[in-house]
Amino acid sequence: MEAQKKLLLDVKDLKVHFDIAQKSAWPWTKPLKLKAVDGVDIRLYEGETLGVVGESGCGKSTFARAVIGLVEATDGDVVWLGQDLTKLSHAGMREKRKEIQMIFQDPLASLNPRMTVGEIIAEPLKSFYPEMSADEVKQQVKGMMAKVGLLPNVINRYPHEFSGGQCQRIGIARALILKPKLVICDEPVSALDVSIQAQVVNLLKSLQKEMGLSLIFIAHDLSVVKHISDRVLVMYLGNAVELGEGDALFAEPKHPYTKALMSAVPIPDPALERKKEIELLEGELPSPMNPPSGCVFRTRCSQASAGCAEKKPQLLGNDVHSVACLNVH
């Protein structure tokens, strides 16, 4: 399937490390390294949705921001349509933002409270296409508002007059007004009620089909990820531990961490839910400033062996399913 699709994004060994200053009397004390993302490889194809999951602090959002250039990559390549984004100048990266847009987690906080809905949605057009007339901009804004389910009579209202779900629709309209090829959704439904979550996810799926979008969809809720994703990337402590097609990964997770995440997903059938065995993770999430040697998950893994402390496992397998674990074959 992937061989027939156009490759849009090829991320190779992406690393994002931050220097954290130590409290010390000596000015020459070296800062600590916080390894937010520590070597992630993914490929994204035209029209595909890649779900990214993992507990808080695993590096999902930092990974997304590094792809779009909001966070500077320490190492690795982010190849977009054959061009490495990490090598571009500020002006060069600005041009690419027409093709890659982002939807943020907090819908109200991501909108300028002093701008009307029409001004918010029109801002990217005015920035990238200053030659467009006011009438052309207004028509495009109204057309995009209709696509995301906003009535034209709210064009002069301000963000505080809307609910969270409506604010997220405004954010989606702003991200799509430039007709991008890729939209990165950074937990776009986590701040919304469950019923509104379903509406927003279904809206994204509909717009993806209509506009031919590719999506990177970050979320904590595995049920939402399963509903929208073609493939799923599981991250732990800045590392990719499993990657696979949605159905294959959810049906038969291989990595111990993925199994623990899947076991926590509620089953709608009460009888099955009561019989389900939940795999609890032992201990606390290690600090990304001092990650375990070898496999970063070994300190919480029930299957860990002596070799897990010596060698960092690589993501191995095929296009359908791959896993980074020395004890999974």
Q: Residue range 41-59: average pLDDT?
A: 93
- DSSP of 89-156: -HHHHHHHTTTEEEE-S-TTTTS-TTS-HHHHHHHHHHHH-TTS-HHHHHHHHHHHHHHTT--GGGTT
* Short-list 52, 47, 42, CA closest to 4: 47
Q: Residue range 89-104: average pLDDT?
A: 91
Residue 28 pLDDT class (50, 70, 90 cuts): confident
* Short-list 263, 267, 268, CA closest to 302: 263
Find all residues with CB under 8 Å of 139, minimum gap 6, and list them: none
What pLDDT shows up at residue 273? 62
Rounded (5°) CA angle 314-319-321: 65
Q: Which two tokens stand for residue 103?
A: 């939807």
Share of the chain above pLDDT 90, in %: 61
Distance from C-alpha of 230 to C-alpha of 45, rounded to nearest angstrom? 10
Q: Which tens digit of pLDDT belongs to each residue from 204-258?
A: 999 999 999 999 999 988 888 988 999 999 999 999 999 999 888 888 899 999 9
Q: Which two tokens stand for residue 213?
A: 């979008």
Residue 1 pLDDT class (50, 70, 90 cuts): very low
Element (H, E) at 61: helix 60-68
> Which residue type sits at 13?
D
Burial class (CB in 10 A: 0-12, 13-18, 19+), 194: exposed
Q: Which tens digit of pLDDT belongs to each residue from 262-315?
A: 887 777 767 766 766 777 777 788 888 888 999 999 999 888 888 899 989 999
- DSSP of 271-320: HHHHHPPP-PPPS-PPPTTSPPSSSTTGGG-TT--GGGGT-PPP-EE-SS
Q: Which tens digit of pLDDT belongs to each residue from 160-196?
A: 999 989 999 999 999 999 999 999 999 998 878 888 9
* Short-list 153, 191, 193, 151, CA closest to 173: 151
Fold of the CATH domain 2-18+33-99+180-323? Rossmann fold (3.40.50)
Domain with CATH 3.40.50.300 in the chain: 2-18+33-99+180-323
Find all residues with CB under 8 Å of 323, minimum gap 6, and list them: 241, 242, 243, 244, 254, 255, 258, 315, 316, 317
Share of the chain above pLDDT 70, in %: 96
Q: What does residue 231 show for φ and ψ, rounded to 5 degrees? A: -130, 160
* Short-list 181, 182, 213, 187, CA closest to 200: 187
